[in-house]
A and B are shown apart, each in its own frame.
Chain A
């Protein structure tokens, strides 16, 4: 039954407008970071050096830096997908055909997550092609990228990014479930991830390791200063499980009056 809800969700997700805008949008965002990073790289100093880019993990540096942006986009799309079922009124149609609400929500979540993870994979492939081209233009040797170590770093980073996108997507869907308005969900989500967490951590730096956005970003980047990878992973899982549980309870218990 979850499979039925999953395939139904994909009928909606694969519409050309959403498919192209999401896949190309994420690819553009990731590629933009790669281009900026390569164009700004110096022999010494700066955000990243040409020497660092030539290392085995040089291929993934750009994509990793784009993780926050990719996460925010995933969050917004996931939130709007859930909330729009309320604003369009389509939820009542769906619930007549699948009255088991937990099954419906699970299928929808699975559909949205796979959609966004596939979009991420597409963005990563495009960004990698762009990275190779950018490396050529800056005369950065790429031999180390395609060694065993380099490819290992690449797949590990992609796995971490996929986990982060999964986390952002679930948080987005949970928020969409609560606020029931696509626009409001996207605004609240963006404001929290981009502004509120930043303000909180600047005022009280020790809170950084407990905030959901910071935890998931730490996972995406393989750990950051102040939030270790393992800590981010554990806390991220706690947030995700809590978000799924809360969304399920709200979805199952609430009357559908939209």
Chain B
């Protein structure tokens, strides 16, 4: 990002310009409330992560923003246009909702041409977005011959076709291999560098943490938190990583902290413990250990990850995270 772009984004935020704002946004399917009284306020220029467990209502919310699903109640404004009149803003929006969907028998280029014609966009816009998404060399091949990563990239190219001011990406790394995930991450970051507001949903919090500077968390259709990632981290009580001078003192040290009301987690294959100690500072923990006759070799403050912040905000136990899967995945 250039200095000018950074200043522009900072200026946009300071003036409080919102790319997306909703109030009381609600969607019911029959008796089931999927999105409940959602009030979003996403600043222009932000790369915003939209986080929530599977079934939290992320995709339904994104569909409402794109005019695909009609809200049961509530209002909203996207790029200055009312959510009830999607035609007023969708010409400035690019979107990839769920899995990319194109005509299998057409080439990647022909698929984009069909969309360009529909949106009354110049056909000359097709090749540059194919190039940017790294698909130009295979643009003439049929879509059905593409790998999952290529399909995903074509979806991104389609979203970029209208030179959007807002990009809405629903689980863009779904199904990608590690290499593809890194590429996608880079691509999304590059959009941010262009001053495009990006709303990217994911159930992988670690993914969001790496690319987003703003985050919206929902659970069971309700807003849990929204704000900048740095503010969220700052607001979290830090944890401490503690190690005794002698490894044999580890159980005694853990017992001392537990008695004091701290939550102690033994770190696998390590001679340290992770201490969640609300209201305690490093000095308090050091004093507690000394009083119990244990000398500390290590006492390090550890900033909570976004994942832990999510669990803290939603009251979900971190044990809900399936072991052996992606570290940031919310079940």
A interface residues with partner B (beta carbon < 8 Å)? 1, 4-5, 7-9, 11-12, 15, 17-18, 88-90, 92-100, 104, 107, 253, 255-257
Contact = CB atoms under 8 A, between A and B. Distances in A.
Contact of A95 (B67, B70, B94, B105): B67
B260 to A, nearest CB: 52
B90 A96 contact: yes
Interface string B279-316: 00000000000000000000000000000000000000
A166 to B, nearest CB: 23
Given A4-B118, A89-B99, A96-B90, A11 B106 contact: yes
Contact of A99 (B63, B90, B98, B103): B90
A56 B97 CA distance: 59
A15 B115 contact: no
A202 to B, nearest CB: 41
Nearest to B110: A11
Contacts of B101: 88-90, 92-93
Given A4-B118, A92-B68, A93-B101, A11 B86 contact: no
Contact of A4 (B93, B113, B117, B162): B117
11 contacts: A4-B118, A8-B115, A8-B118, A88-B103, A92-B101, A93-B115, A95-B66, A96-B67, A97-B119, A104-B118, A256-B63
A11 B105 CA distance: 11
B146 interface: no
Contacts of B40: none
- List 6 tightest A-B contacts by C-beta distance, closest first: A89-B101, A97-B119, A8-B118, A11-B114, A99-B86, A8-B117
Contact of B102 (A7, A93, A253): A93
Given A18-B105, A96-B95, A256 B69 contact: yes
Given A92-B95, A255-B69, A255-B70, 8 more contacts: A11-B110, A18-B105, A92-B66, A93-B101, A94-B115, A95-B66, A97-B119, A255-B63
Query: What is the predominant secondary structure among interface residues of chain B facing chain A?
Result: loop
B68 A256 contact: yes
Nearest to B67: A99
- Chain B CB count within 10 A is highest, among A1, A18, A93, for A93
A11 B103 CA distance: 10
A104 B161 CA distance: 18
B199 to A, nearest CB: 14
Contacts of B102: 88, 90, 93
Contacts of B69: 255-257
B87 A15 contact: no
Contact of A12 (B95, B114, B120): B114
A94 B103 CA distance: 11
Query: What is the predominant secondary structure among interface residues of chain A facing chain B?
Result: helix
Contacts of B122: none
Nearest to B70: A255
Contacts of A9: 114
Contacts of B162: 97
A249 to B, nearest CB: 14
A2 to B, nearest CB: 11
Interface string B74-108: 00000000000011001001110111011111100
B212 interface: no
A8 B114 contact: yes
B20 interface: no
Contacts of B120: 1, 4
A89 B63 CA distance: 13
A186 B113 CA distance: 28
B56 interface: no
Contact of A7 (B68, B87, B117, B158): B117
A5 B118 contact: yes
Given A4-B119, A8-B115, A257-B69, A100 B103 contact: no
Nearest to B94: A96
B30 to A, nearest CB: 12
A15 B103 contact: yes
Nearest to A90: B101
Contacts of B98: 89
B106 A255 contact: no
Interface in B91-149: 93-95, 97-99, 101-106, 110, 113-115, 117-121
A11 B33 CA distance: 39
Interface in B37-79: 63, 66-70
A96 B63 CA distance: 10
B150 to A, nearest CB: 16
A95 B97 CA distance: 12
A250 to B, nearest CB: 13
A17 B144 CA distance: 14
A35 B101 CA distance: 43
B84 to A, nearest CB: 11
Contacts of B104: 88
A18 B106 CA distance: 11
A91 to B, nearest CB: 8
A99 to B, nearest CB: 4
